[in-house]
Amino acid sequence: MNRVCKFPLRRVLRWLRHPVSAVLAFVLLAGSASATVSTRQAVPELSAAAVAAFADGRLPVAMREGKIPGAVLVVVRGDRVVFQKSYGFANLENREPVSTSNTLFRVASISKILTAAAVLQLAQTHLLSLHRNVNRYLTGFRIAPAFGAPITLFDLLTHSSGFDVCPLNYAARTAAQKLSLRHYLAEFQPVRVRPPGVFSGYDNYGYALAGYLVQKASGIPFPQYVQERLLQPLDMDHSSFSPDAALRRKLATGYWLEDGTLRPYRPAHVNIIPAAGLCSTAADMSQFLMALLTNQRPDGSPAFPASVMRGLETQQFAFNPEVPGRCYGFDEIDLEGRPVLRQSGQWPGFNSLLLLFPRQHCGLFIAYNRCDQLLLGRQISRLFVEQFLPPKRVVAGAEPLPLPARDELGPLCGYYLSVRFPQDSPDLGVPPGLAVTKGPAGQLEIGGRPFREIQPLVFEPFGRGGIAGHRVAFRLGQDGHVADLITGGGAFRRVPWSETQQGRRWLMRAATLVFLSVVVVWPIGLVIRLIGANTAPRPARSGANRPQVRLSWAARGAAFAACALALWFEAALALTELRLHPFADFYGLPASIRSLMGVLPLLMVLTVSLVVFSIAAWRNRLWSLARRLHYSLIPAALALFLYVFYCQHLLFVIFSGPGLI
């Protein structure tokens, strides 16, 4: 047995002594090793040539398909700009090309990163405290008390303060209409709809307030503070929260699409400057990305104190450790299986996206001058990470077996609406929602996708060959019932079916059918009865039934007027909303919408009168049973119709103060 084992070994050793054999063996081993490496991680190198080929092959095509006038793309690795290029036009009318160094884009909510950095700078010098009641810094106005808990800067920077969303008056159309930061914060303070720290819900007002506290603590106007302490040291000379006339001339023209044609926006004047006021170029944003990745200024000195860097790039708040949370200024997300720090920006005429990949020491920035097209940034970032960055974890092989289904999935099932839309403020649109149901196999389905439970009230999607991640968690309310759904894309509050987009549509359709049955069918029936009355002898009417005849005509007249008014209102509102450009509510509730809402109180009065007429019709046995039942449907339909606008907080908007104008 020993001879059998030793004989091949001796022959191999003797063969390897020959130089040619040794070279062949080395090549075979190297090839095997490289094959193993390429099998494990077939990811192209993040080189300038590779990124240029990717960008030039993808971005122009996506821009044509999405009708994007102009765009810039920046990719940074460590202290090196890997790629930086502009595409398309900054102004279609003058055919002015986009420039990476001279064309400014409004980067909107990317401003929040700099606002957070400014707060953290002052916290490090003890001029501000992250855990102190913000009312201690305020004079002239106060944050309204609620829930027995004060709001702190920590709550503001992590979007966990509990303010309702109210997008009205984020901007002004003219410089004369622009509000000071203090005036905006005092005049348009949203309602607090939940205690601080419950979960994180995107909050522009909170970041505007945080920037105002920077101004109060430093004694310097917020735009000036950021310019002197953050932008200038990073050589971001073409960036500003308050651009002067020279910089404003370099600002790209923002567009939106109407009837297939790109329409230019008039430049907006920002009221919520710390939350969305930054204008910047691609070249300046590359400097910013390198500073975030290396914590170095162009001269080699530290860009930020260590505590600032920790705050910006370390998770500060998470409802559940299994669900992505918030840093100061950044959101944590799971992008195609890759952990990412993200901040996106959307403003009238502009879209932008900044991604930081700390593990790969890499960053990406994209901006373009069209506001109503979100797909470009999402598509390019998704394709970029798929091509250049290895995933965190991949579910390989056969479909994983889900954990045993919960015996009590019923309490989780229901409808959930995004908290990024108003809960107690006027809302022109219908917020996106998620339907949570029990699937045919007994598993939980969220938005039609199967999920399995990995921890109590924590679920993750599963499927064949998919990428793991995107976990969600349910939150229980004080009464022990499921109140909210927390996802990596934001929080969703549980609502009745009638408040969902689908529910509102069905309520409106049902009410509209009843209105049409009155406005269309009644006149036809009246004509038929009149024709029949002319051909048949009229019965004699006693004086006793004359009051009932008058009551009958008054009841029908009021019903016809109410239904006709409701149908007119529905059509007028639909046409008015079609004519509104995106972000119309940024300048206050549109006057056309506000004037239309004056019809709703009149419909309420008519609804009450129809209820009275309906009761009288049943007591006096007017008409036939079928007609009385149909008449009773009319005030019910009007009540459903008004309920939809009550859910949107538009029912009594004409009686509100001038703050909504």
State the pairing for strand pair 350-357/472-476: unpaired
Asked whether the CA dihedral 560, 563, 567, 573 is positive or negative, the reply is positive
Question: What count of Cα atoms within 13 Å lies in the side-chain half-sphere of residue 541?
Answer: 8
Q: Which of 471, 472, 476, 470 is nearest to 494 (CA)?
A: 476
Give the separation between CA 366 and CA 266, rounded to whole angstroms.
Answer: 22
Give the separation between CA 66 and CA 341, rounded to whole angstroms.
Answer: 26
**pLDDT value, residue 500:** 85
Q: What are phi and psi of 316, to 5 degrees?
A: -110, -30
- The continuous run of DSSP H or E covering 286 comes out as helix 282-294
Number of H helices, E strands in the chain: 19, 21
Beta-bridge mates of residue 341:
332, 356
Counting every residue, how long is the chain? 661
User: What b/e string do you get for 171-205 counting C-beta neighbours within 10 Å, with b at 16 or more?
Assistant: bbeeeeebbebeebbeebbbebbbbbbbbbbbbbb
User: What b/e string do you get for 98-112 counting C-beta neighbours within 10 Å, with b at 16 or more?
Assistant: bbbeebbbbbbbbbb
DSSP SS3 for 612: helix
**pLDDT value, residue 455:** 86
CATH 2.40.128 segments of the chain: 410-495
DSSP SS3 for 472: strand
- CATH hierarchy code of domain 410-495: 2.40.128
Give the separation between CA 656 and CA 650, rounded to whole angstroms.
Answer: 10
Alpha helices in 149-255 (DSSP H): 153-157, 181-187, 204-218, 222-226, 245-248
Beta-bridge mates of residue 89:
97
Q: Does domain 49-388 have CATH number 3.40.710.10?
A: yes
Gyration radius (Cα) of the chain, Å = 32
**pLDDT value, residue 2:** 37
Contacts of residue 344, Cβ cutoff 8 Å, sequence gap at least 6: 108, 109, 110, 351, 352, 353, 354, 377
Q: What are phi and psi of 101, to 5 degrees?
A: -100, -20
Give the separation between CA 303 and CA 308, rounded to whole angstroms.
Answer: 10
The DSSP code sequence of 105-137 is: EEEETTHHHHHHHHHHHHHHTTSS-TTSBGGGT
- Quickly tell me which residue has 């109060």 as its tokens: 216
Give the separation between CA 420 and CA 189, rounded to whole angstroms.
Answer: 16
CATH 3.40.710.10 segments of the chain: 49-388
pLDDT in tens, 607-623: 999 999 999 999 988 88
**pLDDT value, residue 184:** 95
**pLDDT value, residue 25:** 41
Using 50 as the pLDDT threshold, list the residues of the chain that sit under it: 1-42, 394-401, 464-467, 544, 661
**pLDDT value, residue 604:** 95
